[in-house]
Amino acid sequence: MNTVKTVRELRAAVARARGEGKRIGFVPTMGNLHSGHVALVTKAAQRADFVVASIFVNPLQFGANEDLGNYPRTLAADQEKLFDAGCNLLFAPGVEDMYPDGMAVQTRVSVPYLSEGLCGASRPGHFEGVATVVSKLFNMVQPDLAVFGEKDFQQLAVIRAMVRDLNLPVQILGEPTVRAADGLALSSRNGYLDDTQRAVAPVLYQVLSGIAEALRQGTRDFAEQISAAQARLLAAGLRPDYLEIRHAVTLQPAQAEDDDVVIIAAVYLGTTRLIDNLHVHLDNTQIRR
């Protein structure tokens, strides 16, 4: 696996692969890789002949009081994981490579509607930063397909909308959330948790699972389910940022007759913000009769 830092080197390597008739897969990351990232690269390697990954901690998607400065940088360990997963090329640019004229004058990509609410409400400008950097990376790599994790459910919806609306020739693939044995969704930010907090963190998945099971059993009083779940989170020491049941495609508040919903949440455990979701397909045949 080669590592390049400039757009020129990146494009030359991708051009060689494409000249050999290879299908290009792409996995953008911010580094500090874990098994969830490895699953993305593995899927890309299964679907493409030449896999490019990127590591770039994008300042454009961090708010003023967020953890940009403390975000873990673990390049050497990340390179080993990427190589083992079947990555062919790592693009690891600096901020000056991605934003050569500075971020203040950078053209921005905004995806309305899907970027609003949920994490978009709690992190103003976050999804604009995500859409901007992903669109730049797509133009740099020009992949045939790209793989994103379903843990960041709203982000995946935003990227799919951006690709559709801008007619980008990239197939977007989602990869199911990878979890620890106790159910906690893997995240680079899990490393911020101390031992006591780490023992409590799986309660988020347990609460989401409880709502999902109630919905599968026919419960459609969403407000009651959310209220009881919020109380359980608070009792465990998890402070909800949001906990909602949304339509899985539109991300609008779910209705009783919806078949395809997502139970989606963000919580604070100490100063660490955790996100998770469960995508649930429901049988509403009885409701429609």
Catalytic residues: 37
Alpha carbon distance 201, 274 (integer Å): 8
Residue 276 bridge partners (DSSP): 265
CB 136, CB 98: distance < 8 Å: yes
In angstroms, the CA 129 to CA 185 distance is 23
Cα 13 to Cα 180: distance, rounded to the nearest angstrom: 36
Whether the CB-CB separation of 48 and 145 falls below 8 Å is answered with yes
260-269 and 239-247 beta bridge pairing: antiparallel
Report which of 271, 251, 281, 282 is spatially closest to residue 119, judged by C-alpha positions.
Answer: 251
